[in-house]
Amino acid sequence: MSEPDPQVLRQIENGLRADDPRLAAQLGTSPEVRAQQWRVILVLADITVVLMVTVGAAGGGAALLLWGLLAAGCLGYVHWLKRDERPFADDQRSRWGSS
């Protein structure tokens, strides 16, 4: 972005806050909040998949086991997609710790 672009974006943002504060609050979710929401969703999905596979394997039916395994694969893919969006606690270096 060029130097004036952030200023223009701030002006648009301020105008939106003045015109429709409710919409601005919904759109203004910070990346940290969105990352936290995703973490909660993924943990709940992990628990659900583990329960599906466990109950299916323990005699709840082959269909439940198969759906659980399919969901586990899909959930693994979502975790893989989200891996780069996780913030580091101390810095923003690459995942392997190189400078």
**Number of structural domains found in the chain:** 1
Burial class (CB in 10 A: 0-12, 13-18, 19+), 52: buried
Could you read off the pLDDT of 7-63 as tens digits, one per residue?
A: 888 888 788 878 887 777 777 666 777 778 888 888 999 999 999 999 999 987 889
pLDDT band with cut points at 50, 70 and 90 for residue 93:
very low
pLDDT band with cut points at 50, 70 and 90 for residue 91:
very low
pLDDT of 65 strictly over 50: yes
Domain presence at residue 6: no
The parent domain of residue 72 ranges over: 30-85
Alpha-carbon distance of 16 to 10, in angstroms, equals 10
| Runs of H (alpha helix) within the chain | 4-19, 21-27, 31-55, 62-82
Domain presence at residue 21: no
Domain presence at residue 10: no
Return the top range by mean pLDDT from 24-28, 71-75, 94-98: 71-75
Domain presence at residue 47: yes
CB atoms within 10 A of CB 24: 15
